Chain A
Amino acid sequence: MAEAYFPVGPGLGAEENFLSLDDILMSQEKLPGRAETNLPRLAFALGQGAASGDSILEGSKLEIPLWLAKGLHDSKRRIISVEPPKIYKEAWRTVFSADANVVDLHKMGPYYYGFGSQLLNFDNPENPEIAQTILQTFISRFRRIMDSSQNAYNEDTSALVARLDELERALFQAGQKGLNDFQCWEKGQASQIMASSLVQNYGKRKFTDMDD
Protein backbone atom coordinates (compact mmCIF):
# COMPACT_ATOMS: atom_id res chain seq x y z
CA MET A 1 0.00 0.00 0.00
CA ALA A 2 2.92 2.36 -0.55
CA GLU A 3 1.91 5.72 -1.90
CA ALA A 4 2.81 6.60 -5.45
CA TYR A 5 3.87 10.10 -4.56
CA PHE A 6 4.46 12.09 -1.40
CA PRO A 7 2.75 15.48 -1.30
CA VAL A 8 4.59 18.26 0.52
CA GLY A 9 2.80 18.85 3.78
CA PRO A 10 1.89 22.21 5.26
CA GLY A 11 4.61 23.83 7.30
CA LEU A 12 2.73 24.47 10.49
CA GLY A 13 4.44 27.17 12.40
CA ALA A 14 6.07 30.49 11.80
CA GLU A 15 7.06 29.75 8.22
CA GLU A 16 4.98 28.14 5.48
CA ASN A 17 6.27 25.50 3.15
CA PHE A 18 6.70 27.13 -0.23
CA LEU A 19 5.77 24.02 -2.20
CA SER A 20 2.83 22.89 -0.14
CA LEU A 21 -0.57 23.14 -1.81
CA ASP A 22 -2.27 23.30 1.55
CA ASP A 23 -0.22 26.32 2.51
CA ILE A 24 -0.95 28.06 -0.79
CA LEU A 25 -4.67 27.60 -0.31
CA MET A 26 -4.41 28.66 3.28
CA SER A 27 -2.67 31.91 2.51
CA GLN A 28 -5.56 32.90 0.27
CA GLU A 29 -7.79 33.40 3.32
CA LYS A 30 -8.60 37.01 4.01
CA LEU A 31 -7.83 39.20 6.97
CA PRO A 32 -9.63 42.39 7.92
CA GLY A 33 -7.37 45.40 7.92
CA ARG A 34 -7.18 49.07 7.13
CA ALA A 35 -4.99 51.15 4.91
CA GLU A 36 -2.64 53.41 6.83
CA THR A 37 -1.70 55.69 3.96
CA ASN A 38 -3.23 56.70 0.68
CA LEU A 39 -2.84 54.05 -1.97
CA PRO A 40 -3.17 55.88 -5.28
CA ARG A 41 -4.76 54.03 -8.17
CA LEU A 42 -4.82 50.69 -6.38
CA ALA A 43 -8.54 50.46 -5.71
CA PHE A 44 -9.12 47.88 -8.43
CA ALA A 45 -6.38 45.60 -7.10
CA LEU A 46 -7.96 45.42 -3.69
CA GLY A 47 -11.44 44.97 -5.02
CA GLN A 48 -12.82 48.34 -4.09
CA GLY A 49 -13.28 50.38 -7.24
CA ALA A 50 -13.92 49.65 -10.87
CA ALA A 51 -12.08 52.47 -12.61
CA SER A 52 -8.33 52.29 -12.81
CA GLY A 53 -7.95 55.79 -11.44
CA ASP A 54 -9.60 55.24 -8.10
CA SER A 55 -7.38 55.31 -5.10
CA ILE A 56 -7.85 54.01 -1.62
CA LEU A 57 -8.05 56.66 1.03
CA GLU A 58 -6.21 56.51 4.28
CA GLY A 59 -8.12 54.67 6.96
CA SER A 60 -10.51 52.74 4.71
CA LYS A 61 -11.26 49.18 5.63
CA LEU A 62 -9.96 46.36 3.46
CA GLU A 63 -10.11 42.59 3.27
CA ILE A 64 -6.63 41.44 2.38
CA PRO A 65 -5.50 37.88 1.62
CA LEU A 66 -2.77 36.61 3.90
CA TRP A 67 -0.03 36.46 1.29
CA LEU A 68 -0.56 40.12 0.44
CA ALA A 69 -0.79 41.12 4.07
CA LYS A 70 2.50 39.40 4.87
CA GLY A 71 4.21 41.14 2.00
CA LEU A 72 2.90 44.61 2.80
CA HIS A 73 3.30 44.39 6.52
CA ASP A 74 6.19 46.44 7.81
CA SER A 75 6.39 48.29 11.09
CA LYS A 76 8.50 51.10 9.64
CA ARG A 77 6.62 51.94 6.44
CA ARG A 78 3.09 51.67 7.60
CA ILE A 79 1.14 50.75 4.52
CA ILE A 80 -1.58 48.62 6.03
CA SER A 81 -2.46 47.36 9.44
CA VAL A 82 -4.21 44.07 10.03
CA GLU A 83 -6.14 42.57 12.84
CA PRO A 84 -7.04 38.96 13.46
CA PRO A 85 -10.33 37.68 12.06
CA LYS A 86 -13.09 37.34 14.61
CA ILE A 87 -12.57 33.64 15.13
CA TYR A 88 -9.26 34.38 16.84
CA LYS A 89 -10.68 37.12 18.97
CA GLU A 90 -11.73 37.15 22.59
CA ALA A 91 -15.33 36.03 22.10
CA TRP A 92 -14.48 32.94 20.11
CA ARG A 93 -11.50 32.18 22.33
CA THR A 94 -13.81 31.69 25.27
CA VAL A 95 -15.98 29.37 23.17
CA PHE A 96 -12.94 27.28 22.36
CA SER A 97 -11.79 27.09 25.93
CA ALA A 98 -15.26 26.04 27.07
CA ASP A 99 -15.61 23.11 24.70
CA ALA A 100 -13.60 22.88 21.53
CA ASN A 101 -15.35 19.78 20.26
CA VAL A 102 -18.60 21.43 19.27
CA VAL A 103 -17.11 24.01 16.94
CA ASP A 104 -17.39 23.40 13.23
CA LEU A 105 -13.82 24.22 12.29
CA HIS A 106 -14.38 23.54 8.63
CA LYS A 107 -16.89 26.31 8.34
CA MET A 108 -14.76 28.74 10.29
CA GLY A 109 -12.11 28.82 7.64
CA PRO A 110 -10.83 25.37 6.79
CA TYR A 111 -7.29 26.22 7.87
CA TYR A 112 -7.76 27.25 11.48
CA TYR A 113 -4.43 26.01 12.78
CA GLY A 114 -2.28 27.03 9.85
CA PHE A 115 -3.80 30.47 9.51
CA GLY A 116 -3.60 31.03 13.24
CA SER A 117 0.08 30.16 13.24
CA GLN A 118 0.69 32.63 10.43
CA LEU A 119 -1.18 35.34 12.29
CA LEU A 120 1.48 35.25 14.95
CA ASN A 121 3.86 36.83 12.45
CA PHE A 122 2.08 40.15 12.75
CA ASP A 123 2.74 42.12 15.88
CA ASN A 124 -0.36 42.01 17.94
CA PRO A 125 -0.67 42.24 21.69
CA GLU A 126 -3.00 39.25 21.77
CA ASN A 127 -0.52 36.87 20.16
CA PRO A 128 0.32 34.74 23.22
CA GLU A 129 -3.36 34.12 23.92
CA ILE A 130 -4.05 33.23 20.31
CA ALA A 131 -1.16 30.76 20.30
CA GLN A 132 -2.32 29.20 23.54
CA THR A 133 -5.89 28.87 22.32
CA ILE A 134 -4.83 27.16 19.11
CA LEU A 135 -2.74 24.66 21.04
CA GLN A 136 -5.47 23.92 23.57
CA THR A 137 -8.06 23.48 20.83
CA PHE A 138 -5.88 20.93 19.11
CA ILE A 139 -5.34 19.01 22.31
CA SER A 140 -9.03 18.87 23.19
CA ARG A 141 -10.09 17.75 19.75
CA PHE A 142 -7.36 15.13 19.49
CA ARG A 143 -9.29 12.50 21.42
CA ARG A 144 -12.32 12.66 19.23
CA ILE A 145 -10.30 12.49 16.02
CA MET A 146 -8.41 9.47 17.32
CA ASP A 147 -11.53 7.60 18.36
CA SER A 148 -13.50 8.31 15.24
CA SER A 149 -10.67 7.52 12.85
CA GLN A 150 -9.75 4.24 14.49
CA ASN A 151 -13.26 2.90 14.76
CA ALA A 152 -14.99 3.70 11.51
CA TYR A 153 -14.19 0.87 9.18
CA ASN A 154 -15.94 0.70 5.82
CA GLU A 155 -18.49 3.27 6.81
CA ASP A 156 -19.39 6.59 5.39
CA THR A 157 -17.14 8.99 7.23
CA SER A 158 -18.43 12.21 5.74
CA ALA A 159 -20.47 12.97 8.84
CA LEU A 160 -17.39 12.54 11.01
CA VAL A 161 -15.02 14.72 9.02
CA ALA A 162 -17.51 17.49 8.26
CA ARG A 163 -16.52 19.50 11.28
CA LEU A 164 -12.76 19.05 11.07
CA ASP A 165 -10.37 21.51 9.51
CA GLU A 166 -7.81 20.46 6.93
CA LEU A 167 -5.04 19.60 9.35
CA GLU A 168 -7.37 17.39 11.35
CA ARG A 169 -8.64 15.75 8.19
CA ALA A 170 -5.11 14.75 7.24
CA LEU A 171 -4.69 13.23 10.69
CA PHE A 172 -8.02 11.45 10.35
CA GLN A 173 -6.89 9.94 7.09
CA ALA A 174 -3.64 8.75 8.63
CA GLY A 175 -5.60 7.02 11.38
CA GLN A 176 -7.99 5.47 8.90
CA LYS A 177 -5.13 4.22 6.80
CA GLY A 178 -3.59 2.46 9.80
CA LEU A 179 -6.91 0.84 10.57
CA ASN A 180 -7.60 -0.15 6.98
CA ASP A 181 -4.17 -1.65 6.52
CA PHE A 182 -4.63 -3.77 9.61
CA GLN A 183 -8.08 -4.99 8.62
CA CYS A 184 -6.91 -5.72 5.10
CA TRP A 185 -4.09 -7.79 6.44
CA GLU A 186 -6.31 -9.66 8.79
CA LYS A 187 -8.66 -10.61 6.00
CA GLY A 188 -5.73 -11.86 4.00
CA GLN A 189 -5.95 -9.24 1.29
CA ALA A 190 -2.48 -7.97 2.03
CA SER A 191 -0.89 -10.82 0.11
CA GLN A 192 -3.15 -10.51 -2.92
CA ILE A 193 -1.81 -8.67 -5.92
CA MET A 194 -4.14 -5.92 -6.99
CA ALA A 195 -3.87 -3.20 -9.61
CA SER A 196 -2.59 0.09 -8.23
CA SER A 197 -5.25 2.72 -7.74
CA LEU A 198 -3.41 5.16 -9.96
CA VAL A 199 -3.35 2.75 -12.88
CA GLN A 200 -7.01 1.91 -12.55
CA ASN A 201 -7.87 5.54 -13.08
CA TYR A 202 -6.13 5.69 -16.42
CA GLY A 203 -9.10 4.09 -18.16
CA LYS A 204 -6.89 2.15 -20.52
CA ARG A 205 -8.28 -0.89 -22.20
CA LYS A 206 -7.69 -3.88 -20.03
CA PHE A 207 -6.24 -7.12 -21.29
CA THR A 208 -9.55 -8.97 -21.12
CA ASP A 209 -11.28 -6.32 -23.22
CA MET A 210 -8.90 -6.69 -26.11
CA ASP A 211 -10.36 -9.95 -27.26
CA ASP A 212 -13.53 -8.28 -28.57
Chain B
Amino acid sequence: MEPAEAEFLAEKELVTIVPNFSLDRIHLIGGDLGPFNPGLPVEVPVWLAINLKQRQKCRLIPPEWMDVEKLEEIRDQERKEDTFTPMPSPYYMELTKLLLNYASDNIPKADEIRTLVKDTWDTRIAKLRLSADSFVRQQEAHAKLDNLTLMEINTTGTFLTQALDHMYKLRTNLQPGESAQSQDF
Protein backbone atom coordinates (compact mmCIF):
# COMPACT_ATOMS: atom_id res chain seq x y z
CA MET B 1 0.00 0.00 0.00
CA GLU B 2 1.28 3.46 -0.75
CA PRO B 3 1.31 6.46 1.59
CA ALA B 4 -1.30 8.14 -0.56
CA GLU B 5 -3.68 5.24 -0.01
CA ALA B 6 -3.13 5.38 3.76
CA GLU B 7 -3.88 9.09 3.60
CA PHE B 8 -7.09 8.35 1.74
CA LEU B 9 -8.20 6.01 4.50
CA ALA B 10 -7.25 8.58 7.11
CA GLU B 11 -9.53 11.17 5.56
CA LYS B 12 -12.52 9.32 6.91
CA GLU B 13 -11.72 10.33 10.46
CA LEU B 14 -14.00 12.94 12.03
CA VAL B 15 -12.81 16.42 12.96
CA THR B 16 -14.65 19.47 14.30
CA ILE B 17 -15.13 22.58 12.19
CA VAL B 18 -16.93 25.87 12.57
CA PRO B 19 -18.63 26.72 9.27
CA ASN B 20 -19.48 30.21 8.13
CA PHE B 21 -22.36 29.21 5.90
CA SER B 22 -25.62 27.48 6.55
CA LEU B 23 -26.89 24.33 4.99
CA ASP B 24 -29.48 21.76 5.91
CA ARG B 25 -28.60 18.24 6.78
CA ILE B 26 -27.09 16.47 3.76
CA HIS B 27 -27.57 12.77 3.13
CA LEU B 28 -24.57 10.99 1.71
CA ILE B 29 -24.07 7.31 1.05
CA GLY B 30 -21.74 6.98 4.02
CA GLY B 31 -24.15 8.68 6.43
CA ASP B 32 -25.71 12.02 7.21
CA LEU B 33 -23.76 15.19 7.80
CA GLY B 34 -25.53 17.35 10.26
CA PRO B 35 -27.03 20.77 9.62
CA PHE B 36 -24.43 23.53 9.16
CA ASN B 37 -25.09 26.79 10.95
CA PRO B 38 -22.61 29.65 10.95
CA GLY B 39 -20.64 29.79 14.16
CA LEU B 40 -21.80 26.45 15.54
CA PRO B 41 -19.24 23.62 15.64
CA VAL B 42 -20.09 20.44 13.77
CA GLU B 43 -18.27 17.15 13.19
CA VAL B 44 -17.40 16.22 9.65
CA PRO B 45 -14.92 13.83 7.98
CA VAL B 46 -11.51 15.25 7.20
CA TRP B 47 -11.97 15.16 3.44
CA LEU B 48 -14.91 17.52 3.70
CA ALA B 49 -13.18 19.70 6.26
CA ILE B 50 -10.14 20.19 4.01
CA ASN B 51 -12.34 20.95 1.05
CA LEU B 52 -14.39 23.55 2.93
CA LYS B 53 -11.27 25.11 4.35
CA GLN B 54 -9.74 25.47 0.90
CA ARG B 55 -12.89 27.25 -0.21
CA GLN B 56 -12.69 29.42 2.90
CA LYS B 57 -16.01 28.28 4.19
CA CYS B 58 -15.00 27.08 7.62
CA ARG B 59 -12.48 27.23 10.40
CA LEU B 60 -10.83 24.04 11.64
CA ILE B 61 -10.60 23.16 15.30
CA PRO B 62 -7.56 20.98 16.04
CA PRO B 63 -8.30 17.60 17.62
CA GLU B 64 -7.73 17.57 21.35
CA TRP B 65 -4.56 15.50 21.08
CA MET B 66 -2.93 18.01 18.74
CA ASP B 67 -1.63 20.17 21.53
CA VAL B 68 1.94 20.85 22.59
CA GLU B 69 1.76 19.52 26.16
CA LYS B 70 -0.15 16.43 25.19
CA LEU B 71 2.25 15.61 22.38
CA GLU B 72 5.25 16.16 24.64
CA GLU B 73 3.75 13.68 27.08
CA ILE B 74 3.20 11.17 24.32
CA ARG B 75 6.70 11.63 23.00
CA ASP B 76 8.27 11.18 26.42
CA GLN B 77 6.23 8.10 27.13
CA GLU B 78 7.20 6.64 23.77
CA ARG B 79 10.85 7.16 24.58
CA LYS B 80 10.53 5.51 27.99
CA GLU B 81 8.73 2.36 26.93
CA ASP B 82 10.30 -0.49 25.01
CA THR B 83 7.05 -1.45 23.35
CA PHE B 84 4.76 0.75 21.33
CA THR B 85 2.39 3.01 23.22
CA PRO B 86 -1.12 3.47 21.92
CA MET B 87 -1.33 6.60 19.77
CA PRO B 88 -4.17 9.07 20.15
CA SER B 89 -5.35 8.33 16.66
CA PRO B 90 -4.50 5.42 14.39
CA TYR B 91 -3.80 7.96 11.66
CA TYR B 92 -1.84 10.52 13.60
CA MET B 93 0.81 10.98 10.93
CA GLU B 94 -1.61 11.56 8.08
CA LEU B 95 -3.84 13.85 10.09
CA THR B 96 -0.87 15.89 11.19
CA LYS B 97 0.29 16.32 7.65
CA LEU B 98 -3.14 17.21 6.29
CA LEU B 99 -4.16 19.59 9.03
CA LEU B 100 -0.84 21.33 9.27
CA ASN B 101 -0.57 21.79 5.53
CA TYR B 102 -4.03 23.14 4.93
CA ALA B 103 -5.08 24.68 8.21
CA SER B 104 -1.95 25.78 10.00
CA ASP B 105 -3.49 29.16 10.73
CA ASN B 106 -6.16 27.51 12.85
CA ILE B 107 -3.70 25.48 14.88
CA PRO B 108 -1.63 27.21 17.53
CA LYS B 109 2.15 26.47 17.60
CA ALA B 110 1.97 24.48 14.38
CA ASP B 111 5.74 24.17 13.94
CA GLU B 112 6.28 22.80 17.41
CA ILE B 113 3.54 20.29 16.85
CA ARG B 114 5.15 19.21 13.60
CA THR B 115 8.48 18.71 15.34
CA LEU B 116 6.96 16.78 18.22
CA VAL B 117 5.05 14.43 15.93
CA LYS B 118 8.17 13.87 13.85
CA ASP B 119 10.14 13.03 17.00
CA THR B 120 7.53 10.51 18.06
CA TRP B 121 7.50 9.00 14.56
CA ASP B 122 11.29 8.64 14.57
CA THR B 123 11.26 6.94 17.95
CA ARG B 124 8.60 4.48 16.84
CA ILE B 125 10.36 3.68 13.58
CA ALA B 126 13.60 3.07 15.47
CA LYS B 127 11.80 0.67 17.80
CA LEU B 128 10.30 -1.09 14.82
CA ARG B 129 13.70 -1.59 13.26
CA LEU B 130 15.15 -2.84 16.51
CA SER B 131 12.42 -5.41 16.88
CA ALA B 132 12.76 -6.45 13.22
CA ASP B 133 16.46 -6.98 13.75
CA SER B 134 15.99 -9.10 16.86
CA PHE B 135 13.27 -11.04 15.04
CA VAL B 136 15.66 -11.93 12.23
CA ARG B 137 18.60 -12.54 14.48
CA GLN B 138 16.79 -15.07 16.61
CA GLN B 139 14.95 -16.61 13.67
CA GLU B 140 11.61 -16.49 15.41
CA ALA B 141 8.57 -17.97 13.79
CA HIS B 142 6.21 -15.07 14.39
CA ALA B 143 6.07 -11.80 16.27
CA LYS B 144 3.27 -9.61 17.59
CA LEU B 145 3.47 -5.84 17.68
CA ASP B 146 0.67 -3.85 19.26
CA ASN B 147 -0.29 -0.29 18.57
CA LEU B 148 1.39 0.13 15.22
CA THR B 149 -0.24 2.47 12.76
CA LEU B 150 -0.80 1.80 9.08
CA MET B 151 1.74 4.34 7.88
CA GLU B 152 4.54 2.80 9.92
CA ILE B 153 3.70 -0.66 8.65
CA ASN B 154 3.74 0.62 5.06
CA THR B 155 7.13 2.23 5.32
CA THR B 156 8.96 -0.84 6.53
CA GLY B 157 6.61 -3.57 5.35
CA THR B 158 7.97 -4.39 1.91
CA PHE B 159 11.57 -4.58 3.03
CA LEU B 160 10.78 -6.74 6.03
CA THR B 161 8.59 -9.24 4.21
CA GLN B 162 11.15 -9.66 1.43
CA ALA B 163 13.97 -10.19 3.89
CA LEU B 164 11.93 -12.75 5.80
CA ASP B 165 11.10 -14.54 2.54
CA HIS B 166 14.78 -14.87 1.74
CA MET B 167 15.55 -16.04 5.21
CA TYR B 168 12.86 -18.67 5.01
CA LYS B 169 14.19 -20.03 1.74
CA LEU B 170 17.72 -20.14 3.10
CA ARG B 171 16.40 -21.98 6.12
CA THR B 172 14.73 -24.66 4.05
CA ASN B 173 18.13 -25.30 2.53
CA LEU B 174 19.22 -26.61 5.88
CA GLN B 175 16.83 -29.51 5.75
CA PRO B 176 18.24 -32.19 3.49
CA GLY B 177 14.88 -32.88 1.94
CA GLU B 178 14.14 -35.42 -0.76
CA SER B 179 16.61 -34.90 -3.56
CA ALA B 180 15.36 -33.37 -6.77
CA GLN B 181 14.27 -35.79 -9.42
CA SER B 182 17.00 -36.17 -11.98
CA GLN B 183 16.66 -37.77 -15.34
CA ASP B 184 18.53 -40.93 -16.13
CA PHE B 185 19.74 -41.24 -19.67
Contact = CB atoms under 8 A, between A and B. Distances in A.
A32 interface: no
A133 to B, nearest CB: 10
Interface stretch (A50-58, A172-180, A199-207): A172-180
A1 B129 contact: no
Contacts of A149: 159
Interface stretch (A18-26, A60-68, A86-94, A135-143): A135-143
Chain B, interface size category, equals: 35 or more
Interface of A: 1, 12-15, 74, 76-77, 113, 117, 120-121, 127-128, 131-132, 134-135, 138-139, 142-143, 145-147, 149-150, 167, 170-171, 174-175, 177-179, 181-182, 184-186, 188, 190-191
Interface of B: 2-4, 7, 97, 101, 125, 129, 132-133, 136-137, 139, 151, 154-159, 162-163, 166-167, 169-174, 176-177, 180, 182, 184-185
B174 A174 contact: no
Contacts of B129: 146-147, 150
18 contacts: A1-B2, A13-B169, A14-B172, A14-B173, A14-B177, A15-B180, A128-B176, A131-B170, A139-B136, A142-B136, A142-B167, A143-B133, A171-B159, A174-B162, A178-B154, A178-B157, A182-B154, A182-B155
Contacts of B166: 12, 113, 138, 167, 171
A74 B159 contact: no
Nearest to B160: A146
